[in-house]
């Protein structure tokens, strides 16, 4: 396998041992590794480009995941995981990475609910900049079998480095079972739901209270949640937003302006905001966000 540069991130925060699992997986394969992960949990952040800034600077903290080998450089970043992958593409943590590994997430990321996952969001953000991405999750909030996740992640990483998929992401889910109890790895489609569903429990005049619960593996054979609940690790291929080429005829009309009316100004808006809801990161004239 040709050595590549790997960035490891997550949405559980810099203190998560899942970072060390992925970093060690990449090191064992002979790759160059750097870790850059949020300073706190950013679960559910999707591909959000939010951060906390001071004087216009993205804030870094000197923190390391537990057990990370000393030779691996590590950054705690006051930012969402997708923003970390975004700035990594422009050299924020050294040369642009060839691969972004995100996870190992605490809890499964299955079904269409992966839309909301900060773990998957980081990998998708990387893919939008031509970087191979892989998100890895283990189906437990308190995993007991990291070795199983590392075994599956190593298999996925070998495939990822050898294949030319720069615009797609591997989403891997691993059951929290001992390696000798793992049934294997299977390609899977996305289930029509996620591992957790939210419901409105109560509504008041100025609030809404939600409740969250796990869901049973419905009879959707071949889907990630179905296979995961039956002891298989699963791998699905997902991709960042692209034009839908399904052939649907979209609505259109011709206005009264002529073709020679000239150019109009297009605002680029903002690319990130602080935790205090203050807007920051505005794109100024001459910058290309």
HSE toward the beta carbon, residue 220, CA cutoff 13 A: 19
Give the number of other CB atoms < 10 A from CB of residue 281. Answer: 18
8 A C-beta contact, residue 171 and residue 203: no
Give SS3 for 111.
helix
Among 30-34, 51-55, 61-65, 85-89, whose mean pLDDT is lowest?
51-55
pLDDT at 143: 97
pLDDT at 233: 98
8 A C-beta contact, residue 63 and residue 73: no
Residues 102, 104, 80: CA angle, nearest 5 degrees: 45
DSSP tally for the chain: helices H, then strands E: 5, 15
Phi, psi of 227 (to 5 degrees): -70, -40
Supply the pTM of this predicted model: 0.84
Tens digit of each residue's pLDDT (9 = 90 or more) over 85-133: 999 999 999 999 999 999 999 999 999 888 889 999 999 999 999 999 9
Question: What is the distance between the alpha carbons of residues 225 and 214, in angstroms, rounded to a whole number?
Answer: 11
């Amino acid at each position: 396998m040709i050595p590549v540069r790997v960035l490891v991130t997550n949405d559980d925060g810099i203190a998560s041992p899942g970072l060390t699992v992925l970093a060690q997986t990449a090191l064992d394969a002979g790759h160059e590794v750097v870790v850059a992960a949020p300073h706190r949990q950013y679960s559910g952040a999707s591909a959000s480009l939010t951060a906390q800034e001071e004087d216009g600077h993205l804030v870094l903290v000197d923190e390391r995941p537990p057990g990370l080998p000393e030779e691996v450089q590590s950054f705690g970043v006051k930012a969402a995981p997708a923003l970390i992958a975004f700035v990594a593409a422009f050299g924020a943590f050294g040369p642009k990475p060839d691969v972004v590994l995100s996870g190992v997430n605490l809890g499964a990321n299955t079904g269409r609910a992966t839309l909301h996952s900060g773990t998957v969001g980081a990998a998708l953000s990387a893919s939008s900049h031509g970087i191979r991405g892989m998100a890895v999750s283990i189906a437990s909030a308190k995993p007991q079998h990291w070795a199983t996740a590392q075994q599956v992640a190593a298999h996925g990483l070998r495939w990822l480095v050898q294949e030319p998929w720069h615009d797609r992401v591997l989403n891997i889910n691993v059951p929290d079972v001992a390696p000798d109890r793992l049934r294997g790895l299977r390609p899977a489609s996305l289930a029509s739901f996620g591992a957790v569903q939210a419901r409105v429990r109560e509504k008041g005049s100025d609030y809404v209270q939600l409740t969250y619960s796990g869901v049973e593996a419905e009879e959707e054979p071949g889907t990630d949640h179905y296979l995961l609940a039956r002891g298989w690790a699963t791998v699905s291929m997902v991709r960042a937003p692209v034009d839908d080429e399904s052939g649907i005829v979209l609505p259109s009309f011709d206005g009264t302006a002529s073709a020679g009316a000239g150019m109009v100004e297009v605002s680029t808006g903002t690319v990130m905001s602080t935790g205090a809801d203050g807007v920051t990161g505005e794109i100024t004239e001459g910058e290309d966000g």
